[in-house]
Structure 1
Amino acid sequence: MAISLKKGQKVDLTKTNPGLKKVLVGLGWDTNKYDGGHSFDLDAAAFLTGENGKAGSDADFVFYNNKTHASESVIHMGDSLTGEGAGDDEQVIVELDKVPAEIQKISFTVTIHEAAERSQNFGQVSNAFIRVVNEASNEELIRYDLGEDFSIETAIVVAELYRHSGEWKFNAVGSGFEGGLAALCKNFGIDAG
C-alpha cells in the first residue's frame, strides 16, 4: 500500500524498502475547462543538485531535450505533448545506486510550455500527482497529490529525492514559481538563456 503524503511531509524511501535500487517516478495531471484555444503542454524535469541546492552544470538538468544524465542514473522517458488519458503523463527512471556521490538531491518539477504566450497557469490544472514506484515489482511506494493550491504559477517543484544518513528520502515539496522554466532554472543555478 502506497504512503500518501501531504505538502511538506517527508518519508524514508530506501530504509523502509531495503534493497530498493531502481524507481520509476510518475507525474500526471489533468487540465480544467479552458477555452483559450491552445492545448496544454506540461513538461516534467529533474534537477540533480549538490549540497548547496545548485546543479553543477546544464548536464544536471534532465528533461525532454536531455533525457539521460551522464551517469545514466536518471532517465526521462519522453515528453507527453497532451497529457491525455489516465495514469502517468510523464515518467523518470532513477537508479539510486548509480547517482553520483556529489548529487545530494533530485528535484522533480513540472512547467507549462509557453505558459505566458498561451495565458496558461497551474490554476487551470487539476489532479496533479507524483508517485514513486518500485521498478522491479511495479509496486507504488509513495504518492503525493498536489491538490488545488495554485493560481498564477507556471512552474512547480513537485517533490524531491534526497540523501540523508546514507539513505534516500522523499519530500513532498509542492512549491510554485512564476516565470516558468527560466525561473526554475535560475533557482537551481542553471542559465536557461
Structure 2
Amino acid sequence: MAISLQKGQKVDLTKGNPGLKKIVVGLGWDVNKYDGGNDFDLDASAFMLNAEGKVAEDKNFIFFNNTSSPEGSVVHTGDNRSGVGEGDDEQIKVDLSAVPSSVAKISFGITIHEATERRQNFGQVSNSYVRVLNEETGEEIIRYDLGEDFSVETAIVVGELYRNSAEWKFNAIGSGYQNGLAGLCKDFGLDV
C-alpha cells in the first residue's frame, strides 16, 4: 500500500524498498470547468540539482524539449497536451542507480504552458498529484495529492528526490510560483 504524504513530509524511498533501482514519477491533474476558450496544456519537468540546489548544465533540465539526461538516468516519457483521460498525465522515469554522483536532488515541477497568454493558473486545476511507482512491478510506493491550495500560481514544485548517504528519499514540496516555468528555471540557476 502506498504511503500518502502531506505537504512538507519526507519519506525514505530506497531503505524501505531494498533493491529498488528504477522508479516512475507520475504526475496527474484535471481541469476545472473553465470557459476561457483555450485548452490547458500542463507540463511536467525534472531539474537535476547539485549540492547548491542548482542545475549545473542545461542538459540536466528534463522536459518535453529535452526528454533525457545525458547518461539516460532521467527520462521524460512524452508531452500530454490535454490532460484528458484517467491515470498519470505525464511520467518521468528515474534510474536511481545511474544518477550521477554530482546530482544531490531531482526536483519535479508542473507548469502551465502559455499560462499568461491564456489567462490560466492552478486555481483552475483540480485533483493534481505526484506519485512514485516501482517501474518493475508497477506498485505505487508514494502518493502526494496537492489539494486545492493554489489560486494565481502558474508553476508548482511538487516534490523532490534527494540523496541521504547511500539512500534516496522523497520530499513532498507543494510550492507554487506565479511566474511559470521561467521562475522555476531562474530559481534553479537556468537562463530561459
TM-score range, shorter chain: over 0.9
Residues 116-148 of structure 1, C-alpha deviations (whole Å, 9 max, x = no match):
000000000000000000011110000000000
| Offset, 1:71 | 1.3
* Corresponding position of 1:97: 97
| Offset, 1:57 | 1.2
* Corresponding position of 1:30: 30
Q: What is the distance in 1 between the residues matched to 2:164 and 2:68?
A: 24
* Corresponding position of 2:147: 147
Partner-residue secondary structure (3-state), 2:47: strand
Residues 4-27 of structure 1, C-alpha deviations (whole Å, 9 max, x = no match):
000000000000000000001100
Task: Report the identity percentage.
Answer: 66
* Corresponding position of 1:186: 186
Q: What is the distance in 2 between the residues matched to 1:50 and 1:119?
A: 34
* Corresponding position of 1:11: 11
* Corresponding position of 2:116: 116
Amino acid at match of 1:31: V
* Length, aligned pairs only: 192
Q: What is the distance in 1 between the residues matched to 2:138 and 2:158?
A: 21
Partner-residue secondary structure (3-state), 1:84: coil
* Corresponding position of 1:73: 73
5+ residue gaps, structure 2: none
* Corresponding position of 2:176: 176
Amino acid at match of 1:157: V
| Offset, 1:165 | 1.7
Q: Does 1:51 align with 2:81?
A: no
Q: What is the distance in 1 between the residues matched to 2:13 and 2:148?
A: 26
Partner-residue secondary structure (3-state), 2:171: strand
Q: What is the distance in 2 between the residues matched to 1:136 and 1:100?
A: 21
Moved over 2 A (4+): none
Q: What is the distance in 1 between the residues matched to 2:59 and 2:68?
A: 9
Q: What is the distance in 2 between the residues matched to 1:60 and 1:109?
A: 14
